Amino acid sequence: MFSLRFVMRNMLHLFIVFLGVSVFTFFISHVIPGDPARMLVGPHASQEALEATRAQLGLNKPIIVQYEKYIVDLVHGDLGTSIRTQRPVASELAKCFPATLELTMVSMIMAIVFGIILGVAAAVNRNKWIDHASRVFSLIGVSTPLFWSGVIALIVFYKVIPIFPASGRIDTFLSPPHEVTGLYIFDGLIAGNFAVVISAIHHIILPAVCLAYVQLAIVARQVRSSMIDVLEQDYIRTAKSCGISQKTIIYKYALKNALLPTITVTGLTVGELLGGAIITETIFAWPGMGKYVRDSIAFLDFPAIMGFTLVVSLSYVLINMAVDVLYSFLNPQIREVEK
């Protein structure tokens, strides 16, 4: 069991981060050049209409008063009203969140599974061709901009070799499944609609691979480094001298301990995937939060931008809190310190 101090400390960190992000995003949004009221009424509107719109949005009040109202609304779960669509930001983000979550989950699974496989193979075959190929593969992944790899993937696998679709979550002639989780793959499985499941998988593969590639490379290098350290430990040499098979040593003894540092990297990976989703969703016209906030930025829709930032920040902190809990659960020494 985890101590009350452990839980309270993490909740305090969550509150501090959330408050800091709210302050930072709010004040930054008000010093950026541009007038949301002008964007809303249009360039040819009269000064009276502009001032009336500014008063309606509360933009004519002192910035401290605006922030105080913003915090009070946040406490009540109100992220404000979108200037661009004139609808509540919370409901629009809730509508877009499942698409981003599905893309992020698939990308994370790809990054972790293939990153571990590649890292283990590189560590076991240290300084051999597999290790060198893994190093080159990881270097390319880390150094390739996501916007470039996404465009190249579209050109190759949609135009030159038409294997995957270019946009959307399912084929246009299919109806979305009955919403249970908002994740088309899961909802399709629940409804027994395998045509939707196949189509959803077909559509998500290309953007998920592009999004996962960078994080896969990071996970692979981390696993390789950890595996090499573990394989040089005395208990591994003892296991080898006892005649235990190489497969058992690697997967039963070494990999379990090598994955502990990787857990922390995994938590950071999820945060990076949420951030990278903005570019990926824009390239592949994926109807998630990334595309939503990109459209909002073009319109200077500050409530939508701030709402997106707060949701991503909250998700990032909660994920890292879960990683801390998992790490403490797997590492008894840390669990004893937390008591």
Q: How far apart are CA 218 and CA 221, in angstroms?
A: 5
In the predicted structure, residue 196 carries a pLDDT above the cut 60: yes
**Mean pLDDT, residues 81-92 taken together:** 84
Q: What is the pLDDT of residue 314?
A: 81
Q: How confident is the model at residue 198 (pLDDT cuts 50, 70, 90)?
A: very high
Give the pLDDT score at 189: 92
Confidence of residue 203 (pLDDT cuts 50, 70, 90): very high
More reliable by pLDDT, 309 or 204: 204
Angstrom distance (rounded) from CA 202 to CA 206 = 8
C-alpha 84/C-alpha 296 separation (Å) is 7
Q: Is 199 a residue whose pLDDT tops 90?
A: yes
For residue 337, pLDDT over 60 is answered with no
Residue whose token pair is 């709010």:
26
Contact 334/261 with Cβ under 8 angstroms?
A: no
131-179: pLDDT as tens digits? 888 888 888 887 888 888 888 988 999 888 889 888 888 888 888 888 8
Is the pLDDT confidence value at 6 over 70? no
- CA-to-CA distance for 231 and 215, rounded, in angstroms? 24
Percent of the chain with pLDDT over 90: 5
- Is the Cβ–Cβ distance between 240 and 234 less than 8 Å? no
Residues 117-130 have a mean pLDDT of: 87
Report the distance separating Cα 334 and Cα 331, nearest Å: 6
Predicted local distance difference test score (pLDDT) of residue 332: 59
Query: What is the longest distance spanned by two Cα atoms in the chain?
Result: 87
Q: Average model confidence (pLDDT) for the chain?
A: 82
Which residue has tokens 């990881």? 138
> In which residue are the tokens 């098979």 written?
245
* pLDDT band at residue 34 using 50, 70 and 90 as cut-offs: low
Q: Which residue has tokens 């930032």?
A: 309
SS3 287: coil
Summarize the confidence of residues 306-327 as an average pLDDT.
Answer: 79
Average pLDDT over residues 72-97: 84
CA distance 179 to 186: 10
Topology, domain 101-301:
MetI-like fold (1.10.3720)
CA distance 242 to 257: 20
* pLDDT tens sequence across 258-287: 877 777 777 777 777 776 778 888 888 888
